[in-house]
Amino acid sequence: MSRKSYVRGSTEVALTNDTIGDYFDRVVKTHANHDALVSSAENIHWTWQELHAQVQQAAAGLLAIGLKPQDRLAIWANNSSSWLVTQLACAKTGIILVNINPSARPAELLEQLQAVQASALLFQTQFKSSHYTAMLQALFPELEQQDATELQSETIPSLRYLIQIEDPAPAGMLSFAQLKAAGSKLDPQRVTEAQQKVQPHDPYNIQFSSALGTFAAPVTLSHFNLLNNGFFIGQQMHYTPNDRVCIPVPLFHCFGMVMGNMACIAHGATMVYPGQSFEPLQVLHTIATERCTALYGVPAMFVGLLDHPQLEHTDVSSLRTGIMAGAPCPIDVMQRVTTELHMPEVLIAYGMTESSPVSFMTALSDPLELRVSTVGQVQPHIDAQIIDEHNDVVPIGTVGQLCVRGYPVMQGYWQRDDLTQQVIKDQWLYTGDLARFDDKGYCQIVGNIKDMIIRGGENIYLAEVHSFLRQHPAINELILFGVPDARLGQELCAAVRLHPSHTLDADSLRQYSQGQIAHYKIPRYVLCYTDFPTAENQSTKDLLSADAIIKLGL
């Protein structure tokens, strides 16, 4: 009888049953004069003791203006020291931090603030073409006539405070400096008392996820979820207080907040922010000047660094490790990262916001091929299984839906039990991702239930086909999608952006694929471009629609 696709993580290292605030305080005592945060764009170098002082002041300020434990404080800003300070101040006071994507437009912001009944919003004045303060003034015209500490909004009745990070704040708003000044007048014992009431399983953070595929759902995560996930990520990276982790990925996302900040805090490593968002030259300069030992990014970020003309003039020899996540990585990119960026120990991580986020991760000892073709093995204190459409666990090597269980599974979607019940069943989180295990427990993600087409009764997982076809020497970029077919239901179509001076057609791609992948996975149609269609070139973009392909008789 074949083995079933069920794996269980190690329990050798116990879970931490602390709150984030208490754990942070112990790290401060142990490493008081060691670097905690470097924010290059702000010219900030804080020790753990200096960071602690900032956090205490902000925590006191939040309480001083009237926020209470379990109130929701939303943050709408790019990476900065204020983001980290607010993250930790919320941990100490029991206030729930709500992460808002800085790219969110006013309608999205309102929807998300309403979804969590936010009491306060912390925001930056402006970033590039996004004028956050101006957008809020347009959303809340009543601000001109209201006191900054007594906001009353018909649009969002729960919202009482708008806090601008920069000083000075306009009418009806507070500045972060004013908030901290209010905190300086508060008895410090108030923060201690609030912190003592916080429990490890209390809700601590709400992040919005699109895993349901319909709208952004509010994922509720606890201290227990995030502190333990950060700890085991850092353990997998072999972090120590000597590590300096370059974090150009966004803090509003789990990648920055948990895999970055929490992993560093859990091991006393230094957090290094190159800037508010990813800029290749800024990242390279920060790695060199701050002697970073680790670097985070999605594959596109690493490609941007590898292809930057200043790389050959930049000393990146301090790097040893990092995390690549968010998308599959071609092996040629991974090879270049290990050599040209001096990161032989770069790792792959897999997870989702609903699992805090990481549930699978490669190891430093894994060969490069495994770090590209799989997402590693299940992490400590997590169970994982792969099931079929009948909820039966499938044999090893069989594709099915990946489910995980254990400490990192979210508490649920905020005040939406109906949505929670769609993805958590009998304590198992149904990820929606299609995967297979090998006989050593390595997990290969082959697609998402939404990213699958059915051709004549055969399931085609787009990510699996993409991984193979992407290796063709003529293909620079590749998009796969299904198109209607009267006989088979769907056929596979490949839209290809070619490398310069290369050509490709359906016949040559079919010959390349013959005998390498199953015949039904070979694209029936191929559309080739020197540049992909854009919104500005709508007539060309229409060629990518299923109707147009059928009309053209391809």
**519 contact partners, CB below 8 Å, separation of at least 6:** none
Range with lowest mean pLDDT among 217-221, 294-298, 447-451: 447-451
pLDDT tens digits, one per residue of 477-499: 899 988 888 778 889 999 999 99
User: What is the band of 547 on the pLDDT scale with cuts at 50, 70, 90?
Assistant: very low
Cβ density class 461-493: b for 16+ within 10 Å, e for less: bbbbbbbebeebebbbebebbbbeeeeeebbbb
Tell me if the pTM is above 0.75.
yes
pLDDT tops 50 at residue 540: no
CB-CB contact of 88 with 43 (8 Å): no
pLDDT tops 50 at residue 150: yes
| Architecture of the 6-15+209-448 domain | 3-Layer(aba) Sandwich (3.40)
CATH tag, 47-199: 3.40.50.980
pLDDT tens digits, one per residue of 170-195: 999 999 999 999 999 999 999 999 99
Q: What is the pLDDT of residue 214?
A: 61
Q: What residue spans of 75-222 are helical by DSSP H? A: 81-93, 106-116, 132-139, 176-184, 189-197
pLDDT tens digits, one per residue of 202-226: 999 999 998 886 678 999 999 999 9
- Map out the domains of the chain as residue ranges: 6-15+209-448, 47-199, 456-552
Same CATH topology for 47-199 and 456-552: the answer is no
Indicate the residue type of 209. Answer: S
Nearest to 297, CA basis, from 264, 336, 329, 265: 329
Q: Exposed, middle or buried: residue 14 (CB in 10 Å: 0-12, 13-18, 19+)? A: exposed
Q: What is the pLDDT of residue 534?
A: 58
CATH class of 456-552: alpha beta
pLDDT tops 90 at residue 374: yes
Full DSSP string of 64-115: HTT--TT-EEEEE--SSHHHHHHHHHHHHHTPEEEEE-TT--HHHHHHHHHH
E strand residue ranges, 438-471 = 443-448, 452-455, 458-461
DSSP state, residue 349: E
Q: What is the pLDDT of residue 3?
A: 93
Rounded to whole angstroms, the Cα distance separating 262 from 477 reads: 34
CB-CB contact of 527 with 493 (8 Å): yes
HSE-up (13 A, CA, CB side) for residue 485: 19
pLDDT tens digits, one per residue of 68-125: 999 999 999 999 999 999 999 999 999 999 999 999 999 999 999 999 999 999 999 9
pLDDT tops 60 at residue 398: yes
